[in-house]
Structure 1
Amino acid sequence: MSKRNDSRKSVVVVGGGAAGSAIARALSGKLDPSKHELTLITSRPFAVHLPAVIRLTTTSEGKLEDSVLIPYDKLLINNNGTVIVDTVTSIEDGKNGRGGDVILSSGEKIHYDILILAPGSQWSGPLDLPVGDKAEVLEFIKEWRKKFESAKGVVVAGGGAAGLEFAGEIKDYWPKKPVTVVHSQSQLLNDVYPDKYRKRAEQGMRSRGIELVLNDYIDDWNPSGTITTRKGKKLNGDLLVSAFGARPATEFITSLGSDVLTSQGNVKVLPSLQLRSYPNIFAAGDVIDVDEQKQLAKTPAHAGVIVANVLSILSGGSATKEYKGSPELILITNGKNRGFGYFGFLWGILVGDFFSRLLKSKGLMIDIARKAYGQPA
């Protein structure tokens, strides 16, 4: 049966990552609990501050698991709402703004009048934390730490931000361990960023003694011996780390129809961040089909648009606030004390080790993340 309170309008948020949690927290401080029922559905009993997971899975130093795995107990302001730990398997929508139900893996149905989809991305390798209880996640982290420590050399597949940060972390803890980054393009990162920044990234990696193999690929994901690239280059390493190709975790959304997602799995949205054929459903975070890099820094703007539009609809109005995009910026750590950043405004500002260490590399913005979930820093 559908869990429903007919006397109140039900707002359901799917996804307890940065976008979903920001929306749920903001709404919990604004919705009248006598008129509205707020529910956050999340697949884990804690949030994960993803930018810190690279260091978390590389080393036990600092016991980051104590601060990076963030409980939800203080997320909702004045406890205005409910957090359900479960996985959404499909959506049944009543269309024409009449609401519907989300179906959980447990078989339970949760009714919604307004639905907000923020399921995030599915990663691979060490970033692919299991969906389960904390013990399972801690065991996964422990196993990856052992792999990094015992490896004679590490090959990182993917020269995007995640791959470069893994390479930098490994060199911090094992300076003499060979590390190779394999990237499919002629320069690191992608062409959203100017050549001057991509060259800065290359300089930063080479300064640590990290080997770069460009214009090449890894095809064998289960090598029994030497790790070899598509072009036949034999690499110095016995541990292969996948650090590319995060996929939007949107398979369950296909239950709304084949035209709801792009061929890449992103959710098609209007500027109001509503789904095109479902005015009572919104989407935010990594999954939306907006021409921008998928980054944590974009989520506050998504949340602001959706919260304003949801409140307007609940008060009898319409969704008039539009998402107009965000400037491209990126800050890549190169271990605890180095890094390189790009801020895509004015003339395009590059920053180096000092600002990278100050803003991100040293503390990984963990304190800021914890405060966003209502936790002490």
Structure 2
Amino acid sequence: MSFESKKKDSKKSTIVIVGGGFGGLTLVGSLSTAIDPLKHNVVLIDARPTFMPLPSTLRLVVSDVDDLMRRSLHPYGDHTFRNKLAGNGTFIHGSVTEIKFGEAGQGGSVVLDNGEVVQYDILVLATGSAWPSPINFPTESKSAIEEFVQARREEFAKASDILLVGGGAVGIELGGELRDAFPSKAITIIHRATHLLNTTYPDKYRTGLQKQLEARNITVLTGDSITESDASKLVEGHLSGAELVTEQGRKLKPDLVIPTWGARPNTSYLPADLLSSSGHVKVLPTFQLPAHPNVFAIGDIIEWKEQKSAAKAAYFQAPKVMKNIFEYLHLAEAAGSREINLSASKKSSKYSGSMEMILITNGKGGGMGYFDVLWGIVIGGWLASLMKSKDLMVSRLPGITGYTPK
């Protein structure tokens, strides 16, 4: 029996969460302590069968240090649903191809790539970002992910001169992990802007990160980039082993070129009228889609003038979405057929943004953090290592996923 037909036989309302990243899983965890399982079903859908914690993935694809294949790849399952959701939650492995929205806040359905249709009364979109090739993991199975990881490790081990194209967080952290694993390899990061990262962060932080990299014999080329033609070849997987001439005329001869530029929002399943020009989902301060009040969006995919991060989705957005879901359900029960205006409710929770904060690793022992409080606080290697670099927060994952690695 499909989930669609099950729903038709049930008087419960169904909350569907698409995306089991930090934001989606935090929301599941929050719902598990507050939901009435006699009134509501919860369904979690994710394109992959396992949780992929972004902070640990760059170390994962470089080497087998810290046994991250076992410790950080947590499968979804019954353990995902705890407390009041124990035995009352459903995980579905599948990629969303289309959302069929209901009329005027009525329920709709989620169409998956395997043809399955999942009906919803409340829908939360938390599909995150699509990342460049070193961490663009396959979706079909855990074994496929493991094969992908092994292939990346072999690729890095074989190379002698590695070029990372993009000096954002991914490029910086991958450079640090590569230097930990391969002390003598030539590693270069090329970045179009005059400083690493972007102008959200102060120059002292951006130059500090560059100095850390250069102190580890990682070459950093700023104010330059590979040509558009070479970038297109890199995306298509056809750029390797050739001499490159950068836009500033530098000649580079890497035997491995890795794209480490920024991510893009994973929203291809949505119609263009719901998206901004950058592909992000347009939302109200209540995280609702303006034309679909029973549909919420959270995390990397939302159009909001701030940097995207797992911490913001988990700590600053998910709690507000949970509160708004319950308030919406309460208003819907009281309103009957009348239009529901969640934004007008004094009990709704509105988002006004979060402070900018970032922790970037440089291998296990280094890194820097920035917190946009007071005058702007920058923390150095020792504290960054203690907070993130050493363990990449892997020891905290069971509390998020409900899974304990064996």
TM-score range, shorter chain: over 0.9
2:53 alignment counterpart? 49
1:260 — aligned with what?
274
2:87 alignment partner in structure 1: 79
Give the letter aligned to residue 374 of structure 2. L
Q: In the alignment, what sits opposite 1:144?
A: 152
Alignment of 1:1-377 (within 5 A): 2-3=4-5, 4-5=7-8, 6-73=10-77, 74-77=79-82, 78-219=86-227, 220=230, 221=234, 222-254=239-271, 258-300=272-314, 301-316=316-331, 318=342, 320-376=348-404
Tell me whether 39-48 or 18-27 shows the greater mean CA deviation: 18-27
Q: Deviations over 1:59-85 (max 9, x none)?
A: 112221101111223221123310011
Amino acid aligned to 1:249: N
Tell me the CA shift for residue 373 of structure 1.
1.2
- Whole-Å Cα distance in 2 between the matches of residues 358 and 132 of structure 1? 35
Please, which moves more after superposition, 110-119 or 58-67?
58-67
Paired-residue identity, %: 39
What is the distance in 2 between the residues matched to 1:297 and 1:39?
A: 23
Using the alignment, how far apart are the partners of 1:52 and 1:218 within structure 2? 28
Q: Secondary structure at the match of 2:273?
A: coil
Deviations 1:24-78, CA, capped at 9 Å, x for gaps: 2221332222211111111111101111000000011222110111122322112
User: 2:285, 2:351 within 8 Å by CA — same for their partners in 1?
Assistant: yes
Q: What letter corresponds to residue 283 of structure 2 in structure 1?
A: V
1:112 shift after superposition: 0.6
Q: Using the alignment, how far apart are the partners of 1:224 and 1:355 within structure 2?
A: 39
Deviation, 1:235, is 2.1
Q: Report if the CA contact (8 A) 2:17-2:123 is conserved.
A: yes
Give the alignment's TM-score, normalised by structure 2: 0.89
> Take 2:207 and 2:113, find their aligned partners in 1: how far apart are those partners?
46
TM-score (norm 1): 0.96
Residue type of the partner of 2:72?
V
Higher deviation after alignment, 226-235 or 164-173:
226-235
Unaligned runs of 5+ in 1: none
Count the aligned residue pairs.
Answer: 374
Deviation, 1:216, is 1.4
Compute the displacement of 1:368 (Å): 1.9
**Which one-letter code corresponds to 1:313 in the other structure?**
Y
**Aligned mates of 1:44, 1:89 — CA distance in 2:** 14
| CA RMSD after TM alignment | 1.4
| Kept in 2: contact 1:162–1:243 (CA 8 A) | yes
Superposed CA deviations along residues 189-235 of structure 1, whole A, max 9, x for unmatched, are 10000111111111111111111111111231214422332333122
Which amino acid in structure 1 is aligned with residue 318 of structure 2?
A
CA distance in 2: counterparts of 1:24 and 1:192, whole angstroms: 31
Question: 1:156-208, CA deviations, whole angstroms, 9 ceiling, x for partnerless residues?
Answer: 01101110011111111111111100001001110000111111111111111
C-alpha distance in structure 2 between counterparts of 1:369 and 1:232, whole Å: 45
Q: Please list every run of 5 or more consecutive structure 2 residues that lacks an aligned counterpart in the other structure.
A: 333-341
| 1:236, distance to aligned residue in structure 2 (A) | 4.6
Task: Please state whether the residue corresponding to 2:369 is helix, strand or coil.
Answer: strand
> For residue 22 of structure 2, what is the amino acid of its counterpart?
A
For the 8 Å contact 1:159–1:181, the answer to whether it is kept is: yes
Counterpart AA for 2:50? F
Q: Which moved more, 1:73-82 or 1:143-152?
A: 73-82
Q: Distance in 2 between matches of 1:148 and 1:296?
A: 27
Letter in 2 for 1:266: H
Aligned to 2:103, the other structure's residue is in SS state coil
Which residue is 2:336 aligned to? none
AA aligned to 1:230 is E
Q: Is the 8 A contact 1:337 1:362 kept in 2?
A: yes
